[in-house]
């Protein structure tokens, strides 16, 4: 930020290794989530109140790298003390967000989770919202994911992971045995299974000492991933070779 003007909260590095700002960046808070859409646009969420000086960009905005311009997504987030923790791109290109917010874009019931229709450019509810399910505080944790069948998996504070199958919310597994029986992140494995990090010591009745478990979508069976307790990973990601990486050692959350 000392060498790149306007690198306020967000910067991008070109393939040539050059850092540059995205317009004038963000103000009023931090960036917690970035995702590149199928349309080549960057979708950005966090606790910021303004992006690029554009109105109605409270906690959520999009940046067009070709036009070098920020723009709003509807009227932004509602509620007080809110933030967007995670952004995921659906197989059809729609943008899904989770966090602590109410009435995203002014849409009643778009609480804690919402879907942005990239064609109609409108916010939509996902069922009837989540009734405060999301932990979402101060930018830590919470990484959602999509399954191979298009189902949406969302971590949060209800001792489980919630699954949206397109019409209904259900809970998969029960997290127990820890001081904070919360799920923080999920990722789709190369075998189609759902990997989950959590603060408990068991999931679905199966011991999980490393605080990472995987769920077989077909058999509904949970299996522990690892046996060494190194704290709770707050983010999970697979590389192209199928190796799983976890970031964020959070022993205080166990």
Q: Say how far apart CA 246 and CA 229 lie, in whole Å.
A: 13
Q: What is the pLDDT of residue 80?
A: 67
Q: Say how far apart CA 11 and CA 25 lie, in whole Å.
A: 8
Q: What is the pLDDT of residue 134?
A: 59
Q: What is the mean pLDDT of residues 134-146?
A: 66
pLDDT digits (tens, 9 = 90+) for 162-219: 899 999 999 898 999 977 788 889 999 999 999 999 989 999 999 999 999 999 999 9
Buried b (16+ CB within 10 A) or exposed e, 16-51: eeeeebbbbbbeebebbbebebeeebbbbbbbbebb
Residue 140 pLDDT greater than 80, yes or no: no
Close Cβ partners of 80 (under 8 Å, ≥ 6 residues apart): none
pTM for the full predicted model: 0.91
Q: What is the mean pLDDT of residues 26-41?
A: 96
Q: Say how far apart CA 124 and CA 110 lie, in whole Å.
A: 7
CB 93 within 8 A of CB 114: no
pLDDT digits (tens, 9 = 90+) for 67-125: 999 999 999 887 766 789 899 999 999 999 998 888 899 999 888 899 999 999 999 99
**Closest C-alpha to 74, from 34, 40, 23, 118:** 118
**Closest C-alpha to 104, from 70, 51, 61:** 61
């Amino acid at each position: 930020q000392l060498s790149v003007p306007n690198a306020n909260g967000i910067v991008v590095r070109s393939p040539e290794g050059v850092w540059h700002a995205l317009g004038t960046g963000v103000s009023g808070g931090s960036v917690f989530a970035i995702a590149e859409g199928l349309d080549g646009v960057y979708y950005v969420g966090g606790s910021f109140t303004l992006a690029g000086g554009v109105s109605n960009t409270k906690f959520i905005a999009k940046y067009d790298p070709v036009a070098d311009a920020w723009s709003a997504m509807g009227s932004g987030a509602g509620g007080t003390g809110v933030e967007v923790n995670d952004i995921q791109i659906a197989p059809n290109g729609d943008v899904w967000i989770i966090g602590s917010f109410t009435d995203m874009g002014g849409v009643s019931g778009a609480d804690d989770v919402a879907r942005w229709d990239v064609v109609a450019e409108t916010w939509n509810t996902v069922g009837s919202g989540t009734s405060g399910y999301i932990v979402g505080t101060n930018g830590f944790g919470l990484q959602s994911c999509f399954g191979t069948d298009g189902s949406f998996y969302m971590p949060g504070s209800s001792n489980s992971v919630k699954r949206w199958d397109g019409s209904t919310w259900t809970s998969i597994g029960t997290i127990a045995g820890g001081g904070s029986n919360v799920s923080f992140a999920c990722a789709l494995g190369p075998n189609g299974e759902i990997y989950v990090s959590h603060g408990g010591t068991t999931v679905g009745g199966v011991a999980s000492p490393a605080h990472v478990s995987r769920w077989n979508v077909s058999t509904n069976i949970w299996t522990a991933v690892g046996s060494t307790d190194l704290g709770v990973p707050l983010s999970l990601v697979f590389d192209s070779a199928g190796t799983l990486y976890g970031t964020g050692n959070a022993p205080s959350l166990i």
